[in-house]
Amino acid sequence: MEDLTTDAKKGVVLSGMRPTGDLHIGHFEAVLRNWTRLQETHGCFYFVADWHAITTDTNTKQIKEHSIDMVKDWLAFGVDPKKSTVFVQSLVPAHAELSLALERIVNIGTLRRLPTFKGYLEHIAGDRSRYDKDKNKLSGEARLDAFANAEVSVGFLTYPVLQAADILLYDATDVPVGEDQLPHIELTREIARKFNSTYGEAFTIPEAMLDADIVMIRGRDGRKMSKSYGNHISPDHTEEEIYERVKSFVTDRKKLSDEGDPYECPVFDLHRAFNRDGEVEVARACRNATSKCYDCKTGELPDLIADSYSDYRTRKAEISDGFVLDVLREGNIKAREVTSEKMDQVRKFMLMDYLK
């Protein structure tokens, strides 16, 4: 049988998702639709980022269930294990090995300056300030440092190095990312260049793949869509549930006579993602105040959303947990082959190839 997974085609794509159990249509439209397209043109490696999932929360009670459900979603939505290698990060030891090697060429400050690290500290500090009587004792950077030292695992400091290892192990040429992940791809490129100049040309320098075509879908309250906010739509919702959820979305127009800005309206995100034929007309009617928001939400939109996931729902009902595990078992074997060959090269370049 022809092995479609290794033909490099236009390049190699590496992408992963953390199994946190919160997939919604935002992930499907921004990530999975892209994954299913890319597997037609690229060699693709898609993985369950379980080491990353336990970086800020060490609770693993649901990790297995979430991982299997998530991969079932991928497969039901069209990720094809004949075209893509689908695997579990923690079951491919080379991710940890290369990460350990790369930790030796990355300075502490480089990691502390990443916006994700600083942002997380500010998030913790914000949480604490609600009940922290001592908040005036330290200020600014010193206060953030104190939180970093006391409450942040060193795994949260080093996870961007693990991400670099994830990418470099597969000689990925293209990494689909959102804007917030751009500094991590830049770090990966820096690390690859530093390794290559220190030990020899082991690694391909990857490119970030920002797709302008991807619609970021906000939740019904206009905030980032998230299951934990309860403002999401799930591909597993029934037609009725989708109808009710869409109907409850906030819109940009307060009164019928207001002229709206569709790009400020989370309902227009849905039209852009699910109503490509109609979006221009919807936007015009919104700007000119010739349509009612109610009609914009309850017209054909809920059906378009439900229809776009009908194949997914049918297939999902047919996929057993056992099938998912079989796919992962094969994917892990494939990923281990690719990465142990890469680690052999890495050891050779590092002159640490003691034994054949």
Provide the β-strand partners of residue 46: 15, 86
Distance CA 154, CA 159 (A): 9
Q: How far apart are alpha carbons 6 and 217 in whole angstroms? A: 33
Between 219 and 331, name the residue whose CB sits nearer to a second copy: 331
Q: Which segment (182-190, 262-270, 308-316, 344-352) binds a second copy by CB under 8 A?
A: 344-352
Residue from the set 104, 276, 284, 287 that interacts with a second copy by CB under 8 A: 104
Tokens representing 178 are: 């959102």
Size of the site for a second copy (CB under 8 A): 57
Q: Which is nearer to a second copy, 293 or 324 (CB)?
A: 324
Q: By the 8 A CB rule, do 176 and 211 touch?
A: yes
**Are the C-beta atoms of 98 and 169 separated by less than 8 Å?**
yes
3-state SS assignment for residue 254: coil
Out of 75, 88, 172, 215, name the contact with a second copy by CB under 8 A: 88
Question: Residue 256 interacts with a second copy (CB under 8 A)?
Answer: no
Is 351 a binding residue for a second copy by CB under 8 A? The answer is yes
DSSP state of 30: I
Q: Which of 164, 87, 38 is nearest to 338 (CA)?
A: 87
Q: How far is the first Cα of the chain from the last one, in angstroms, to the nearest whole number?
A: 31
Q: Any contact of residue 61 with a second copy (CB under 8 A)?
A: yes
Among 4, 114, 138, 152, binds a second copy (CB under 8 A): 152
Q: How far is the CB of 162 from a second copy (least distance, A)?
A: 7
- 199 makes contact with a second copy (CB under 8 A): yes
Q: Is 335 in the site for a second copy (CB under 8 A)?
A: no
Dist. CA 251–CA 336, nearest whole Å: 49
Binding window for a second copy (CB under 8 A); candidates: 78-86, 236-244, 262-270, 322-330: 322-330
How many of the other CB atoms lie within 10 Å of CB of 22? 17
Q: Exactly one of 136, 149, 228, 257 binds a second copy (CB under 8 A); which one?
A: 149
- Contact segment (CB under 8 A) with a second copy among 5-13, 63-71, 176-184, 244-252 equals 63-71
Applying CB under 8 A, which of residues 20, 21, 91, 181 lies at the interface with a second copy? 91
Interface with a second copy, residue 106, by CB under 8 A = yes
Q: Does 251 bind a second copy (CB under 8 A)?
A: no
Q: Does position 352 bind a second copy by CB under 8 A?
A: yes
Q: Cα–Cα distance between 119 and 116 in angstroms, integer? A: 5
For 13, counting Cβ atoms within 10 Å of its Cβ (0-12 exposed, 13-18 middle, 19+ buried), the class is: buried
Q: Are 89 and 63 in contact (CB under 8 A)?
A: no
Q: Select from 6, 41, 82, 100 the one that contacts a second copy (CB under 8 A).
A: 100
Q: Is residue 90 involved in binding a second copy (CB under 8 A)? A: yes
Widest Cα–Cα separation across the chain: 77
| Residue of 5, 15, 39, 158 interacting with a second copy (CB under 8 A) | 158
Distance of CA 20 to the CA centre of its chain: 11
Per CB under 8 A, 44 contacts a second copy: no
- Interhelix angle 279-288/266-274, rounded to 10 degrees, is 160
Name the residues that contact a second copy, by CB under 8 A.
50-51, 54-55, 58, 60-61, 63-64, 67-68, 88, 90-91, 93-97, 99-101, 103-109, 111-112, 145, 148-155, 157-158, 161-162, 198-199, 325, 328-329, 332, 347, 350-355
